[in-house]
Chain A
Amino acid sequence: MQRPDMSVVLAGITMRNPVMTASGTFGYGAEFADYLDLESIGAMVTKGLSLKPKAGNPTPRIVETPGGMLNAIGLQNVGIDTFIEQKLPYLKDVNTPVIANLYGNTLEEYGEVASRLDGLAGVAGIEVNISCPNVKQGGIVFGTDPGAAKEVVSLVKRNTSKPLIVKLSPNVTDVVLMAKACADAGADALSLINTLTGMAIDLERRRPVLANVTGGLSGPAIKPVALRMVWQVAKAVKLPLIGIGGIMNGRDALEFMLAGATAVQVGTASFLDPSAAQRIAQEMEQYLVDNGIDSVRSLIGALEV
């Protein structure tokens, strides 16, 4: 039998398969080159970039919880200029689309970072983070208020000609409302979900484990929430979606596609298995072979309710 067609097109970006790496979990790509073939995955999303380098939060920054982990890294990154000078040349030589994830401390910074990435060869698209739960500015404020989200997405849209993906927060009452606001403001695709705000307590010390007190929960524990949100948004918004949340294997990824996702992002799984993204793409393909399915695209939104 012929190999199934695993390719998808997301907001004009052609990917050899639907598996992307999630921002903040794959460094700038090179960190993982010893463990998987970077040209075997659909796309790479780099660590969130800000205008100036950012140091991140005090430690401890991570803690494991059943079925997941909490992080409060605080968007530590090298800054947009260093990214362009030092990280992008390596990524340019990899034949896999690179999506640059970005955020700003202010509305204006979002626009500035986006415009510096515009026209750059080697960046296939941008993903705007309006949903980090771990920083005061540039994070959750834009991600929980539809008006603010609309404003920031519109501004970024004016500053870029690249496909614009907006990453949504699950820490809202109505994710559909946020999705619609971003769609109205010109987003070309939506990725969901970012981490859920959580907390861990050290009973002996009677203190929070994380220095930041709260952190973002990721991993298998959040998959049901993510699936529900992807399904809800898919029904309400006519944009391609990227499903994120606790994807550990090919079956998890395909469930997100049934719920309406065109592609998926693998995050926490890369920490425990650095080859996870490649393995997941292979497992998806195997499922298609085993079930006689010609194209992975036929599964997008094919959930029967």
Chain B
Amino acid sequence: MQFKSMVISNVEVSPNYFRMRMTAPQELSSSVPGQFVMLKVNDAIDPLLRRPFGLFDVGSFVPEYAGCGAQVYCEILYKVVGKGTKLLSTLHHGDLVDLLVPLGKGFQMGPAGEEKVLVGGGVGLAPLYYLAKQLKERGEKVRLFAGGRNRDDVLCITEFERLGVETYVATDDGTLGERGFVTQVLERHLASGMRIFACGPTPMLNAVAKMSEKHGVPCQVSMEAYMACGVGACLGCVMKGANHSDETPDYRCVCKDGPVFDSFELQWS
């Protein structure tokens, strides 16, 4: 659905990374982690298109107005990378944005009893937090493997820990956690009876998908793509499905078929 949302807060949580909380329609309280929103930053024609953001959190709050009942909010976690996100970072409490919510297919949490392993890099941690929250509410054992180039890229770890998630961190330069790729840390801990949920840069997802196959651990990945419509009409955000070849093309629409896919559905390099 389309919704005019009010910014509640917009805070820089790490250099160039922002966490924005917005009012949300009631319907969003039944959204699935991994689903996303399309946000129109302003009414101008530059930037023209909406921007997609995974849901970082959905919850309820009681506004400070007399007689107000609980209302739903949603949060996104974003990195300032271009014109759209730069503008977004200048918004304040009370500003309005136009949202399409909730879009796409989210994570399937799988049966209880398995260990749930979350693997995220940079802003890829965003949908994993909402997922961790729901998994912990179900009483599941959850571990998080978080990576980034340096400590500034490793976001909101305290929030995960507050949920009771065991966390492992790796950075390329060793400024936080282990030095190296998060996938190296992950591989040491992988065992059967686990289920992986991953979101982050494509090379990381590529490594996780291969590792999951090697160890026979089911794996879902949340993909990122340039999008125009977000509703499956423009076909601008497709990626190659597992059986893709030049002779028999197999494209999957990230906004509609995803953004969460079973890793075996996609073609990895």
Residues in A lying within 8 Å of B, measured CB to CB: 24-27, 31-32, 34-35, 55-56, 59-64, 66-69, 71, 73, 76, 219-220, 248, 268, 270-275
Q: Is there contact, CB below 8 Å, between A56 and B234?
A: no
Instruction: Say yes or no: is B238 at the interface (Cβ < 8 Å to chain A).
Output: yes
CB distance from A75 to the nearest CB of B (A): 9
CB distance from A25 to the nearest CB of B (A): 7
Q: Is there contact, CB below 8 Å, between A67 and B236?
A: no
In the assembly, what is the distance between CA of A274 and CA of B40, in Å? Answer: 12
Instruction: Say yes or no: is B137 at the interface (Cβ < 8 Å to chain A).
Output: no
10 tightest Cβ-Cβ pairs between the two chains A and B: A55-B249, A27-B233, A62-B236, A271-B228, A271-B229, A31-B233, A66-B46, A220-B45, A61-B236, A76-B235
Complex interface: chain B residues within 8 A of A56 (CB): 235, 238, 249, 251
CB distance from B66 to the nearest CB of A (A): 34
Contact (A61, B233) CB under 8 Å given A66-B46, A68-B48, A71-B228: no
Q: Is there contact, CB below 8 Å, between A71 and B45?
A: no
In the assembly, what is the distance between CA of A31 and CA of B232, in Å? Answer: 7
Q: How many A-B residue pairs have CB under 8 A?
A: 93
Number of interface residues of B (CB under 8 A): 29
CB distance from A201 to the nearest CB of B (A): 15
Contact (A31, B231) CB under 8 Å given A56-B249, A59-B238, A76-B238: yes
In the assembly, what is the distance between CA of A26 and CA of B2, in Å? Answer: 16
Complex interface: chain A residues within 8 A of B227 (CB): 62
Given A25-B233, A271-B229, 9 further pairs, Cβ under 8 A: A27-B232, A32-B233, A35-B1, A35-B231, A55-B250, A56-B235, A62-B226, A62-B228, A63-B226
Q: Is there contact, CB below 8 Å, between A271 and B249?
A: no
Contact (A76, B251) CB under 8 Å given A59-B239, A64-B47, A64-B49: yes
Q: Is there contact, CB below 8 Å, between B48 and A67?
A: yes
Complex interface: chain A residues within 8 A of B236 (CB): 61-62, 71, 73
Q: List 13 A-B pairs, Cβ < 8 Å.
A: A32-B233, A35-B2, A61-B237, A62-B234, A64-B47, A66-B46, A69-B48, A76-B235, A219-B45, A268-B228, A271-B233, A272-B50, A274-B229
For B82, the closest partner residue in chain A by CB is A64
In the assembly, what is the distance between CA of A27 and CA of B253, in Å? Answer: 13
For chain B residues 198-233, which have a beta carbon within 8 Å of chain A? Answer: 225-229, 231-233
CB distance from A251 to the nearest CB of B (A): 14
Determine which of B47, B48, B225, B238 lies in contact with A268 in the assembled complex, contact meaning CB atoms within 8 Å: B48
Complex interface: chain B residues within 8 A of A71 (CB): 228, 234, 236
Q: Is there contact, CB below 8 Å, between A271 and B234?
A: yes
Q: Is there contact, CB below 8 Å, between B229 and A220?
A: no
Instruction: Say yes or no: is B58 at the interface (Cβ < 8 Å to chain A).
Output: no
Complex interface: chain B residues within 8 A of A219 (CB): 45, 48
Determine which of A59, A270, A275 lies in contact with B233 in the assembled complex, contact meaning CB atoms within 8 Å: A270
Contact (A64, B249) CB under 8 Å given A26-B233, A31-B233, A32-B233: no
Complex interface: chain B residues within 8 A of A272 (CB): 40, 48-50
CB distance from B235 to the nearest CB of A (A): 5
Instruction: Say yes or no: is B100 at the interface (Cβ < 8 Å to chain A).
Output: yes
Contact (A271, B49) CB under 8 Å given A27-B233, A62-B226: yes
In the assembly, what is the distance between CA of A273 and CA of B42, in Å? Answer: 12
Complex interface: chain A residues within 8 A of B98 (CB): 273
Contact (A34, B1) CB under 8 Å given A61-B238, A76-B251, A274-B100: yes
Complex interface: chain B residues within 8 A of A59 (CB): 225, 237-239
In the assembly, what is the distance between CA of A23 and CA of B109, in Å? Answer: 38
Complex interface: chain B residues within 8 A of A273 (CB): 2, 40, 98
For chain B residues 44-75, which have a beta carbon within 8 Å of chain A? Answer: 45-50
CB distance from A151 to the nearest CB of B (A): 30
For A71, the closest partner residue in chain B by CB is B236
Complex interface: chain A residues within 8 A of B2 (CB): 35, 273-275
Q: Is there contact, CB below 8 Å, between B251 and A55?
A: yes
Determine which of A60, A67, A73, A274 lies in contact with B226 in the assembled complex, contact meaning CB atoms within 8 Å: A60
